[in-house]
Structure formats: C-alpha cells, structure tokens
Amino acid sequence: MIRRVDARPIRELMANILVIDDDPIQCRLSEEMLKTHGFEPFIAASGAEGLALLESENIQAVILDLVMPEMDGMTVLSEMRTRNFTQPVIVQTAQPAIENIISAIRLGASDFFSKPIAPERMIISLQNALKRFELENCLRTETHRQKGALSFKDMAAKSPAMKKSIAHGEKAAVTQIPVLIEGEAGTGRDMMARAIHHHAKRGGKPFIALNCSTLDEHELDKMLFGGEGQKKTAFEQAQGGTLYLDEIGALSMELQGKLLALFTGKQLSTSADDHAPLDVRLICATSKRLLNLTKQKQFREDLYYRLNIFPVYMPPLRDRAEDIPDLISHFVTKFSVAEGRRIDGCTPEALIMLTQYEWPGNVRQLENAVYRAILLSEDGHLTPNEFPQIQTSLQGAEKLRSALKSMSPQAAPAHIDAATPQVMPLKPKAQPTKDRFLSDDGRVNNLAQVEKDLIEFALKKHSGKMSAVARALGIGRSTLYRKLKEYGLETDQSNAA
C-alpha cells in the first residue's frame, strides 16, 4: 500500500497552466504560486509567444494579462477563438474598466481579476475553470462519438508514441489511399479510423464499420459482396465515404480473394483520380501483424501489399504512460456524470499505481477499471483501494521481484575465447571394500569359516548373551554351546542369559 501524501486530485496536480504577461515580476510570482499548488506553469512574455505555446504544448488553462505591447490580451482572446483554442482563460489587469470586462467575457474569458490578486482567489478560480473545462471536453468528445465525428483532438496524446500515431493519421486523412491500422485490442483503432474519416474530404459521407471476426463467413460474404436477400453491400452503403473493416486478418482465404479481385478489376478506388464504380475509401484494422500472417500463409501476400500502402500503428497503453492521467480524468468526468456521483479524481498514490500497471487490455481495460472505481468510491477521491485487482496484481509482481532479488545472481556468460579452464583437484582413489566371503588371498571361505565368523559377530552384537545369540541365529542353546566348543569360542558362562 502506497503511503498517502496528498489528497489533491490529479486534475489539480497535473494541469499545465500558461501565464501570458509582459511583467517579469508578475510572471515570477504566478510561477511560484502555481508550483506551490501543484500546477505545471508555462511562462510567455508576449501574446505571440503564448499562442505558440498553445500550439505546441498541452495547456489546460491560461492566465492572461490584458495590457501588453504589440499584441494585447483582447487580441490574444480573439486569436484563440479563431484558432479554436477552447482552454479557459482567466484575465488579470491593472485597469479593470467595465467595458474591458464585458469585452473579455464576450471573447470567451471565464473569469476576470484586477491586480494584485490574492493567491487563494486565483487558485479557486483555476480549480473551477479546470473542472468546467474537463466537463466541456468530455461532453464534446462524447457528442462527437455519438455523431460519428471524432477528431484527432478528441484523442489523448501527450506521449511521443501517440503523437507519432496521430501525425501519421493526419497525413493519411488528406489522401484517398487505403489505410491499415495495426494495434492491440483496446488501443483505439476504431477512434483512429473515425478520426481519419472525419478529417478527410469524405468526412460528411457514410462511415460503414464491419468487424470481420464477429461474423461468420457466409454472412460476411453477403454483406461485403452481395447475395440472396442482401439489398445493398457494405461497399454500396459506403459509396462516397469510408468502409472500415476491423480484424481484417480474420477474413477467410476465399473472401480475401474476392476483396483482391475488387482491386485488380479496378472496381474499388485507390486514389482521388480513380473513377472506379465503387467510390469507397477502405480503412482496415488488425490486432495481429498482417506481415506475420502472410509469412504463415494465413493471409494473401498480394492483398497485404494492396492494403498496407499507408500503415498507422496504435501503441499499447504501456508505451504511452504519459497519457494515462488525461484518460483517467476523462473517464472520471464521463462516469461521474453518468452515475450522478461527485468524484474529484485520483489521489497521487492511486495515479502512481495506475501508471505502474502494464494494462494488457489497454485503454478499454483502464476505462472499465475507472468505472468500477467510481462505483466503489465513498469519499469523492479514487484511492488504490478502489482498484483492488490492479493493487493485487502489482503486489504479486513486487513479491516476485523481491524473491528474484534474494536469489544469488548467475554469472554472466563468458565468450568461448575468454573462458578460463577450471582445474579440479583429483579425488583420492577409493580403496575396494573387502568382501566378507573372501579370504585375504581372494579365495572363497569354506562354510565352517563363514559359520564361525557369523557366530563371533552375533556374540559381539548381543554382548555374549547366549539366549539372545541363539534366537538371532535360529538354533537351540545346546547347539550353540556345541559349536562354540567346536570353533574354540567358549566364553565365560557368567555371561549366559
């Protein structure tokens, strides 16, 4: 269990706040105030520099000075609206004229303060603005999802891996060629496909999605290529738009051949200059490497090269841990509203735990875990206790690591040229044990000698007690006395039992 060090939710602890002010003293004071309360400050000394940071960084809120040379605060607000920046803006100025306040609010400012500002008031205003911003973002994303108009801005992308994937998606959107999206289950292949469609020229046209792994071959054949009782094929339904085939690797060899025939017969458009009967943009996705399936003779090589013109890779969540806080914040807002619960977010120890987990089910598993945690939460904060399965999994992994550390480490393998021979000392040659049935010269002892040795052994074993010796040898006492006399082994009769 991680020690609780802070009860503030991740919405406050992880937010990037941009300060745009030409006064260096005010900038330094704002920077210290933001750091003290767990925010990450970005400082811009001019409006142009601030707009550049809004373009390049993931900013959640802006503190803006109204009076600045060259580009004043009003111009920055107007430019932000033109460029579709939706971050909340808190305006501060030394000249709080009523007309300035009204103009700033009309341009989108969420709050207005006159300098100097009490730090407590600014922090409260920031917290409220961030909550409202997160709610607006969540509602906008879910609205886009329901309308089939998801954009690249709806995808969490702080990590370099996800930024690279979105950059590839943006490039794919401006073309008409087929796209192949590869990634593990739950990584967001469907979102990427819909974002590519939305940003393409076909954005307002139909987007038809089929999952090749959930339909049997006969049904899939009818839906793709037509058959008895099928009014329109999926290609015909997607005319002018996009056909999205998820898990394309699940297609049978026969259906792969039919799909290839559409390319070779020039029935399917593959560029903007094509005038093929089927004016459809094809986007395929798979959770398995199609190249590997091709090598295993499970996927047609000629079809693979037709589909793999523009590949886009969706990284697993374990490779984009920087996106986990934003994803959690989105899911917390989404499910808090859906369930009518007031949940502020994750505590720092819960966030540390969630970022350490590898998430084999990727974003979908994280979403389900957050939903379950919200239902379990009792005090408005998500702690590690609300994620029992993740907690147990990490504790088990930690025990295994501790056990491995306690084991003596193996020596590194030595190259055959560098290995030094080890000379083991020779063990002394073992002397052969004398067999009791052989004499010193190696001949077999006669029966009398063997009998004599046995009687001697029995006498020593039982300390000369005749009754015990006779019982052990299985003979009577009179026979024993006779043999003792015969072999010269007579003992003191006082020892007789």
Residue 347's contacts (CB-CB under 8 Å, 6 or more residues apart) are 4, 6, 7, 8, 9, 381, 382, 383, 384
Instruction: List, in sequence order, the alpha helices (H) in 40-118.
Output: 47-56, 73-82, 98-106
CA separation for the pair 310, 289 (Å, rounded): 14
Domain with CATH 3.40.50.300 in the chain: 160-314
Domain with CATH 3.40.50.2300 in the chain: 10-143
Place 2 in a pLDDT band, splitting at 50, 70 and 90. Answer: very low
For residue 181, what pLDDT is reported? Answer: 96
* Distance (Å, whole) CA 200 – CA 69: 40
- Using alpha carbons only, how large is the chain's radius of gyration in Å? 41
Map residue 361 onto helix, strand or coil.
coil
**CATH top class, domain 160-314:** alpha beta
pLDDT of res. 52: 92
Residue 145 tokens read as: 């999802």
> Does the structure show a pLDDT above 50 at 241?
yes
pLDDT at 328: 92
CATH 1.10.8.60 boundaries in the chain: 321-401
The whole-number average pLDDT for the span 439-443 is: 71
Lowest mean pLDDT among 7-16, 171-180, 239-248: 7-16
Residue 65, beta-bridge partner list: 92
Average predicted confidence (pLDDT) for the chain: 83
Residue 427: pLDDT over 90 = no
Q: 42 φ, ψ to 5°?
A: -120, 130
CATH number of 10-143: 3.40.50.2300
Residue 170: its H or E element: helix 160-173
Concatenating the DSSP letter of every residue in 386-431 gives: G-HHHHHHHHHHHHHHHHHHHSPPPPPPPPTTTPPPP-PPPPPPPP
Taking residues 330-354, report their average pLDDT. 88
Residues of the chain with CATH 1.10.10.60: 447-495
In sequence order, which residues have a C-beta less than 8 Å from that of residue 42 and are 6 or more positions away? 16, 17, 18, 19, 53, 57, 59
pLDDT of the residue at 371? 93
Contact 480, 466 (CB under 8 A): yes
- What pLDDT, in 10s, does the model give residues 154-194? 888 889 999 999 999 999 999 989 999 999 999 999 999 99
pLDDT, residue 405, reads 63
Say yes or no to pLDDT of 478 above 90: no
User: CATH for 321-401?
Assistant: 1.10.8.60
Q: What is the mean pLDDT of residues 201-220?
A: 92
Helix (H), strand (E) at residue 485: helix 477-486
Which CATH architecture fits 447-495? Orthogonal Bundle (1.10)
Q: pLDDT per residue over 315-333, tens digit each?
A: 999 999 999 988 998 899 8
